[in-house]
Amino acid sequence: MRFRRSRQEEVSVNLTPLIDVVFLLLIFFMVTTTFTRETQLQITLPESQSEASAENTGLIEVLVDRTGTYAVNGQVLIKHDIESLKQALEQVSGGDVERAIVITADAAAPHQSFIHALDAVAQQGFNKVSITTQTQSAE
């Protein structure tokens, strides 16, 4: 009697589900991983203990509030850009770059707004610039 030999099916491993699972695990770990940003610089901010004040004659005061709005000698500027600030400084000073400038910025003011104020003062040629601070409170 002749027996038919059964054909052996090829044994193979389907890699598609394995690749899908690996990609899902990779995405899961990428999303749930937290990256820490370590800085190499440690900065200690300066504190002002002196109570010295500038003379009030002929001062031009530039104010920067917490939203980045500028005011020159109490006049609020409509635009918040450096060009408007430079024009206001030119009008108030009358071209006299020997006048002293005092920059007062809110503690929560954007750093870029403060830098724009310093940059505008420097571009106009003023070299007598001071920055106001609060005296250190006794704790």
How do residues 8-61 score in pLDDT, each as one tens digit?
A: 777 888 899 999 999 999 999 988 887 766 544 343 334 556 565 555 567 888
Going from N- to C-terminal start, the domains of the chain cover 60-131
Distance, in Å, from the CA atom of 26 to the CA atom of 137, rounded to the nearest integer, reads 52
How do residues 87-134 score in pLDDT, each as one tens digit?
A: 888 888 888 888 889 888 877 778 888 888 889 888 888 888 888 766
Look at the domain 60-131 and name its fold.
Nucleotidyltransferase; domain 5 (3.30.420)
Predicted TM-score (pTM) of this structure: 0.56
Compute φ and ψ for 68, nearest 5 degrees. Answer: 90, 15
